[in-house]
Amino acid sequence: MAGKKLTAEWYQRPDTVALARELLGKVLCTQFDGQTTRAIISETEAYCGAEDKACHAYGNRRTKRTETMFLPGGAAYVYLCYGIHHLFNVVTHAQDVPHAILVRAVQPLEGVEIMLQRRGHTKQSKKLSAGPGTMSQAMGITTAYNATNLQSSSIWIENHGISIPAAQVETTPRIGVDYAGEDAKLPYRFEVQAAIAH
């Protein structure tokens, strides 16, 4: 069941948009209180630091919240949105270059029972872990894990050798970033709509 853990070098590569595309089909894993869950990443968005108006760290804005994005690639950036939702991002690029990839949806692979319990659902459905807030809840990720290193034993990402054909990937503008002007139109969102075979 376990795959090969992505290395620090993988995360620290500079092309965040390409990494967002490559993240599709990779397996996000969490282990909290001895409970392990695994899920295949099916939707991502790239946020490209200082030059990207949609990014929290646009213009290299350094605050308590954005500080995590300045860490070297390979850290988890988790923040609270609308006071309710914990949004999970993967920090990429080198230290002091605030790029990140928002994981918006995953498909459950292991520990489905645990995810159902966390979500308060009784049956598996598409809504179980599709959406940036719900997928965090299903995986048990909260802001308490902000800045967690992805080489740790709490949160990490594995390569299971799953590749997604280009024909199955939809590339669209990002969601909910209308305030970003021209940058709101950038094709930085990658989505696999079909169920991923594994």
Partner DNA sequence: ATGTCGATTTGCT
Partner DNA sequence: GCAAATCGACATA
Q: How far is the CB of 81 from DNA (least distance, A)?
A: 5
Do residues 16 and 46 make contact, with C-beta atoms less than 8 angstroms apart?
Answer: yes
Comparison of 89 and 148: residue with beta carbon closer to DNA: 89
Q: Which residues have a Cβ under 8 Å from the Cβ of 8 and sit 6 or more positions away?
A: 72, 73, 74, 151
> Residue for token digits 């099916």?
42
Q: How far is the CB of 133 from DNA (least distance, A)?
A: 3
Comparison of 25 and 132: residue with beta carbon closer to DNA: 132
Q: How far is the CB of 149 from DNA (least distance, A)?
A: 18
Phi-psi region of 75 (alpha: psi -120 to 50; beta: other; left: phi over 0): beta
Kindly report the number of other CB atoms within 10 A of residue 101's CB atom.
28
Comparison of 1 and 144: residue with beta carbon closer to DNA: 144
Comparison of 125 and 153: residue with beta carbon closer to DNA: 125
d(CA 21, CA 190): 6
Residues that bind DNA (CB under 7 A): 45, 47, 54-56, 61, 63-66, 77, 79-85, 87, 89, 100, 102, 119, 127, 131-134, 174-177, 179
Q: How far is the CB of 161 from DNA (least distance, A)?
A: 27
Do residues 154 and 32 make contact, with C-beta atoms less than 8 angstroms apart?
Answer: yes
